[in-house]
Structure 1
Amino acid sequence: MKYKLIKAMAHNWTHSFMSGMNYVNGAFVFDDMYQLARERKGQKVTITWLPEHHDELFSLTPRVRESLKHYRKALPEHMSRHKIEAGAISEMRTEVYVAENHRMYVRSYVLDNRGKEHVQFVWA
């Protein structure tokens, strides 16, 4: 496995989750994520893919939680297509927040099993 592929895999995953293709129960998931980020006024809305954090689900909308169920099932296949071994990822998350400059940011974050962080802005 090549660790340099992790960044692209995480970027694609976050981009897919926050894209116009993620449409659940009559609306886009990214609309809910953006609204949550606006309400939190600078605090991040975090989706932790690995390891799963069930306590963060309570702060999300039903639409986002429904989407998460499907995305979490698909994550192993996505990683496999990118030739990433599951054991190589210690932590993986998507973060959405409004910065001090009032811009919305979407960021992918991965911590690999060597302790190296792979961080990339998906939308800034």
Structure 2
Amino acid sequence: MKYKNIDSALRNFGHSFVSLMNYVDGEYICDELLAAARSATNNEIRIDFSASAPPLGSSDQLAKSFDHWKAWLPKLLESQNVLPHSVGAVLLRYRLTRTGREVIVEAADDRGQPHKVFVHD
């Protein structure tokens, strides 16, 4: 187990989730995230991958994607030499700013050390 790999794994997870390779039923999830953020009062949506369900009001496509990526997350962590049980709740924040979108992935490890990565295009 390498704690230093957690940031890299979180960044890879975030990149994959918001990429054009993530589409469900003919819809790109990045478009679904954009629409959800635009309709949110603070222009931000938070997706907690430790939750049993996606955020309230999520589209069917976003809900299906959430289920898929939640199931895949432990495999990604293991592939990067990170024990899944050593990482707490993984939170993906997608928000709109004046300069475009901002994607942040956060988690804490089992030592209480916070991990926060910014996903850039």
| TM-score (structure 2 length as normaliser) | 0.89
The equivalent residue for 1:52 is 51
SS state at 2:108 partner: strand
User: C-alpha separation between the residues in 2 aligned to 1:11 and 1:72?
Assistant: 15
Q: Identify the match of residue 108 of structure 2 among 88, 94, 111.
A: 111
The equivalent residue for 1:70 is 68
The aligned amino acid for 1:47 is: I
Contiguous gaps of at least 5 residues in structure 2: none
User: C-alpha separation between the residues in 2 aligned to 1:43 and 1:111?
Assistant: 24
SS state at 1:90 partner: coil
The equivalent residue for 2:30 is 30
Contiguous gaps of at least 5 residues in structure 1: none
| TM-score (structure 1 length as normaliser) | 0.87
Identity level (%): 25
Shift of 1:52: 2.0
| Number of aligned positions between the proteins | 121
The equivalent residue for 1:2 is 2
Cα RMSD, aligned residues only: 1.7
